[in-house]
Amino acid sequence: MPRRERAGNSLAFATSREPPLTSNLTPVVLAAGKGTRMHSAVPKVLHPLAGKPILGHVLDALAEAGTAAPVVVVAPDVPAVETFARAHPSAPTLRHQAPPLGTGDAVTRARDALPATGTVVVLFGDTPFVSAATVVELAATRDEADAAVAVLGMKLADPGGYGRVVTDGVEVLRVVEAAQLDEATADVTLANSGVMAFDAARLPALLDRLPPRPARDGNHEFYLTDTVELARTAGWRCVWHGCDPVEGLGINDRAQLAEAEALLQQRLRRRAMLAGVTLVDPASCYLSADTRFGQDVVIEPHVVIGPGVTFEDAVRVRAFSHFAVDAPKETRPIVVRRGAVVGPFARVRSGSDIGNGAHVGNFVELKNADVGNGAKINHLTYFGDAGLGPRSNVGAGTITCNYDGIAKHRTEIGADVFIGS
Ligand code: UD1
Ligand code: MG
C-alpha cells in the first residue's frame, strides 16, 4: 500500500536486492517546455535556486541516487539547456523535442533511449527538490505492486494548479489536470508532483495510445498523466506513493521560484548552523548550494554568498558583505582562509584568495586578488588582478589601476610592504 510510513521499508527492501534497484532504474528528465509563465528570456529550468540552475538540482539528486545515466529531453532551439545538461557529471543522454507537444510527447521523444525492462522514472526539470530516496522509493513501490504506473503524490490543503490524483485509496484511477476538474474531482487533495514511475516493458504501449488533448494555443498536446487511464483499461495496476509537499514543489512562475528559494535558503542555513557555523541573523544571510564552511565561522547579518565560495575555520564575515563568482565570465572560486576577517561592507569577487588571519575592511572590493597571510586592506580600496604579500598593509583609498582598456596587467606587491601616507 503506497503510504508514507512504508517508505523506509521499501527503501531497505530496495537496497537489499540483487542487483540493486537503482541500477535497474532509468530516469527521464523533461526540460523542453516553453516555461511561458516565467515571462523570461532565460529558460525556466536554468533559473538559479541558491545559485544553481533548477535543472542542476534535479540532476544532482539523481546522481546521488546512483541511477543509470538520465535521459534529458530538451528543446533544440534552446541550446543553453542542452549545453548545461551535457556538462553535468552524470553524462546524460540527450533527446530533442520540437515542438513541445506536452509531457507525454516529451517522453515519446526519449523512447529509443529507454531500456526494455526495469523501471523508467519520469521527472520534471522544474521540480528541484525531489530527493534521491524518494525516487528510489517510488520505483520500489511500482516494482513491488507489479504496477504499470506509480504516481508520486502529495497531500495539499489547496492543490492549486497541480493535477489531482484520483484514487480508490490504493489504486490510482486517473490524474485530472487542474483546468479540467469537475464536480467529482474538485475536492481531491492529493496533488500530482509530476514524478511518475513506469514499467519499462509496458511504457511504449501506453505512449502509443496517448490521446491528443486541446492545448491553450489552439494546437493539441499529449499528457503523460493520461497513461494512468490507459493502463487501467489494459487491466494493469496503477499505484501511488506519498511525498513531502516540499519535494513536489513545481516551479512555473516567479512567485513559485521565490517560494522555492526561501525553502532552500532555510535548509542551507540550518545545515550550516548544525555543522558549526554561527549565523547571527539567519534570515538575512543568503547562501549558495555549494557554499563550504569550516568550523566556527561567524556570519553577521545581511551577507550574500554567491556560488563558488569556501570559508575556512574561524573566519568572521562582518555585516553587509557580498561574495560572488561572476559566472559564466569568471569561474575562479573564492577562498577565505583560517581566521580572516572580512567586512563590514566588503565586496569579494571571483578568484580572490584571502590568506590566514588577513583583514579586508569596509568599502573594499577584491577581484582576482591574492591577499597574503596576515595582510590588511582595511578601508576604501579596489584591489583587482593583484597580489599582496604576507603582512603587508594597504592604506585607505588605495586602488590598483592595471587595466589599459585591452589587457589587465597584474600588480604584485611583496611581503611586509606598507602602502599609504
Ligand atoms: C505538470 C502535470 C501536472 C502536475 C505538475 C507538477 C501534466 C500534463 N501535468 O503540469 O499534473 O501536477 O506538472 O508540477 O503532466 N515539458 C517538456 N515538454 C513539453 C511540456 C513540458 O519537456 O512539451 C517539461 C517542462 O520543461 C517542465 C515539465 O515538463 O519541466 C512540466 O511541464 P509544465 O508545463 O510545467 O507542466 P505543469 O503545468 O506544471
Ligand atoms: Mg510545471
What pLDDT, in 10s, does the model give residues 32-74?
A: 999 999 999 999 999 999 999 999 999 999 999 999 999 999 9
Helices (H), 77-181: 79-86, 103-109, 132-145
Residue carrying the nine cell digits 544553481: 52
Q: How far is the CA of 333 from the centre of ligand 2 (A)?
A: 33
Identify the pLDDT of residue 21: 64
- Are the beta carbons of 70 and 29 closer than 8 angstroms? yes
Q: What are phi and psi of 36, to 5 degrees?
A: -50, -40
Identify the pLDDT of residue 179: 93
Where residue 25 falls (left for φ over 0; alpha for ψ -120 to 50; beta otherwise) is beta
- Least confident range of 238-252, 275-289, 321-335, 337-351: 321-335
Q: E strands, 32-161, where?
A: 48-49, 52-53, 71-74, 93-96, 119-124, 149-155
pLDDT of residue 193 exceeding 80: yes
DSSP letter at 67 equals -
Question: Which ligand approaches the C-alpha of residue 210 most closely?
Answer: 1
pLDDT of residue 13 exceeding 50: no
Q: Which atom of ligand 1 is nearest to the CA of 226?
A: 8
Distance CA 18, CA 317 (A): 50
- Are the beta carbons of 282 and 269 closer than 8 angstroms? yes
Distance CA 273, CA 296 (A): 10
| pLDDT tens figures, 309-358 | 999 999 999 999 999 998 878 889 999 999 999 999 999 999 999 999 99
pLDDT of residue 421 exceeding 90: no
Identify the pLDDT of residue 241: 97
DSSP letter at 89 equals T
Distance CA 20, CA 67 (A): 10
Computed over every residue of the chain, the mean pLDDT equals 94
Q: Which of 363, 362, 420 is nearest to 388 (CA)?
A: 420
Question: Which ligand approaches the C-alpha of residue 221 most closely?
Answer: 1
Identify the pLDDT of residue 11: 32
Q: What is the mean pLDDT of residues 368-386?
A: 98
Nearest 10 degrees: Cα torsion 381, 382, 383, 384: 180
Identify the pLDDT of residue 217: 83
Distance CA 393, CA 355 (A): 13
Q: What is the mean pLDDT of residues 191-216?
A: 97
Residue nearest to atom 32 of ligand 1 (CA): 33
Query: Which residues have C-beta atoms less than 6 Å from ligand 1?
Result: 30-33, 45, 73, 97, 100-103, 105-106, 124-127, 162-163, 175, 177, 191-194, 223-225, 250, 252
pLDDT of residue 205 exceeding 90: yes
Substitution site in 124, 174, 220, 251 for ligand 1 pocket (most atoms within 8 Å of beta carbon): 124
Q: How far is the CA of 179 from the centre of ligand 1 (A)?
A: 13
SS3 230: helix
Whole-number percent of the chain with pLDDT over 90: 90
**Could you give the residue numbers annotated as active site?**
379
Q: What is the mean pLDDT of residues 355-368?
A: 98
Of all helices (H) and strands (E), which one includes residue 266? helix 254-274
Identify the pLDDT of residue 69: 95
Identify the pLDDT of residue 243: 97
Tell if the pTM clears 0.85, that is, is over it: yes
pLDDT of residue 10 exceeding 50: no
Distance CA 335, CA 309 (A): 6
Q: Which atom of ligand 1 is nearest to the CA of 33?
A: 26
Where residue 343 falls (left for φ over 0; alpha for ψ -120 to 50; beta otherwise) is left
Question: Which ligand approaches the C-alpha of residue 75 most closely?
Answer: 1
Q: Which atom of ligand 1 is nearest to the CA of 99?
A: 23
Identify the pLDDT of residue 56: 98
Q: Rounded to the nearest 10 degrees, what angle do helices 54-65 and 79-86 cross at? A: 30
Substitution site in 36, 37, 72, 103 for ligand 1 pocket (most atoms within 8 Å of beta carbon): 103
Exposed e or buried b per residue across 406-419, where buried means at least 16 C-beta atoms within 10 angstroms of its C-beta: eeeeebebeeeeee
Identify the pLDDT of residue 216: 82
Question: Which ligand approaches the C-alpha of residue 44 most closely?
Answer: 1
| pLDDT tens figures, 85-144 | 999 999 999 999 999 999 999 999 999 999 999 999 999 999 999 999 999 999 999 999
Whole-number percent of the chain with pLDDT over 70: 95
Neighbour tally for 234: CB within 10 Å: 12
Q: How far is the CA of 250 from the centre of ligand 2 (A)?
A: 5
- Are the beta carbons of 118 and 200 closer than 8 angstroms? yes
Q: Which three cell numbers stand for residue 358?
A: 588577513
Cα–Cα distances in angstroms (integers) from residue 271 to residues 264, 292, 328, in the given order: 11, 11, 27
Residue nearest to atom 3 of ligand 1 (CA): 163
Q: Please, which contacts does 10-15 make with residues 24 or more away whose CB atoms are closer than 8 Å?
A: 10/137, 10/140, 10/141, 10/144, 11/133, 11/136, 11/137, 11/140, 13/140, 13/144, 14/136, 14/137, 14/139, 14/140, 14/143, 15/136
Handedness of CA 3, 121, 248, 327 (dihedral sign): positive
Q: How far is the CA of 103 from the centre of ligand 1 (A)?
A: 6
Distance CA 377, CA 363 (A): 10
| pLDDT tens figures, 86-100 | 999 999 999 999 999
Residues forming beta bridges with residue 228, ordered by sequence position: none
Residue carrying the nine cell digits 602602502: 419
- Reported confidence tier of residue 5, pLDDT bands at 50, 70, 90: very low
Residue nearest to atom 7 of ligand 1 (CA): 223
pLDDT of residue 84 exceeding 80: yes
pLDDT of residue 210 exceeding 60: yes
Q: How far is the CA of 104 from the centre of ligand 1 (A)?
A: 9
Q: How far is the CA of 31 from the centre of ligand 2 (A)?
A: 10
Identify the pLDDT of residue 379: 97
Q: Which atom of ligand 1 is nearest to the CA of 106?
A: 18
Identify the pLDDT of residue 123: 98
pLDDT of residue 4 exceeding 80: no
State CA 40 to chain mean position distance.
18
- Are the beta carbons of 311 and 294 closer than 8 angstroms? yes
Q: Which three cell numbers stand for residue 109?
A: 521523444
